[in-house]
Amino acid sequence: MALSLGERPITPPVLLAPLAGITDLPFRTLVSRFGAGLVVSEMIASGEFLTDRPGTRDKAELGAQVENTSVQIAGREPGPMAEAARMVADMGAKVIDINMGCPAKKVTGGWSGSALMQVPDHALTLIEAVVAAIDLPVTLKTRLGWNSDCLNAPELARRAEDAGVRMVVIHGRTRAQFYKGHADWAAIRAVKEAVSIPVVANGDITDTASARAALAQSGADGVMIGRGAQGAPWALAQVAAEIFGGPEPVIPEGRALTAMVSEHYAAMLEFYGPQLGNRVARKHLGWYMDRAGTEPALRQRLLTERDTAEVLRMIPDALDCRQVAA
């Protein structure tokens, strides 16, 4: 099956996972530049979204109007979920994703995210409300189930398809596992066999080898990559090229790498403002330096420097340690 949402193709079938505090607009833009079939915004809590009425920057953060962006929403009641979906659609969204997979206690404690897998009948009321509220493709992200006694992803996916969902993404763990152990890609096959819509495998897929294994074991139509893109925004395009025959990305090295990282840093300063942008950028700079093998003392100086001009000056030296690993 070709990976598509109705008449909207997802090419290549390699998607960027939403990661809180990481996959912000500057990073999603960079990943998209290398090549990704779909990038997903950080999760929006529907109740807070409606109460706070997003400002200009919050709206920009969604990237709703960007062609290959899906906006992810979460919540526990159908009314606010439907209204949030309508608001995001009015902002120009192309795809809406419903989060029923987040394992974080602050999310599940409010009966959102993966907690909804414990109450599939109620979960369906949310799905039905969102699908009915908008004239856009709606997708669903879940886990295998709440725990080993509640492995109901196939049933939930089948009912979601009947309700109008166009694609499901399955993280190969239960909520009880959080991120422990290894994702069970083979267990995703039961979901694939339960539905006729596309299924995307997620969890521990970081490179071409793990993507091949996940596809083979799950029978899924595509893969979703999260951590594997940290410090390597070209990772999705590289996997796509090696598995699906897409164009090979030019992996930056030397001056090209320095230019890319400097541009990413500058984009974060522009988006968040200098002070907050410098702090938020540190995790990304750290991942780039991990790959470059930056000398510890220089790494520490760069990550504690508050002068943004000085950070930009230090980036070339920090990355010029050895050839960056692909």
CB atoms within 10 A of CB 134: 17
- Token pair listed for 258: 């320095």
Torsions phi, psi for 36 (to 5 deg)? -150, 140
Active-site positions read 102
Token look-up 């990237």 returns 63
What's the rounded Cα separation, in Å, for the pair 174 and 142? 9
The closest alpha carbon to 151, from 125, 189, 122, 106, belongs to: 189
- Token pair listed for 220: 């899924």
For 92, 236, 298, 315, the CA distances from 281, given in Å and listed in that order, are 27, 21, 16, 12
Amino acid at 151: L
What's the rounded Cα separation, in Å, for the pair 124 and 206? 31
SS (H, E, C) 87-152: HHHHCCCCEEEEEECCCCHHHHCCCCHHHHHHCHHHHHHHHHHHHHHCCCCEEEEEEEECCCCCCC
Give yes or no for a contact between 168 and 157, defined as CB atoms under 8 angstroms apart.
yes
Question: Helices 120-133 and 153-163: crossing angle, nearest 10°?
Answer: 30
Q: Rg (Cα) of the chain, in Å, rounded?
A: 20
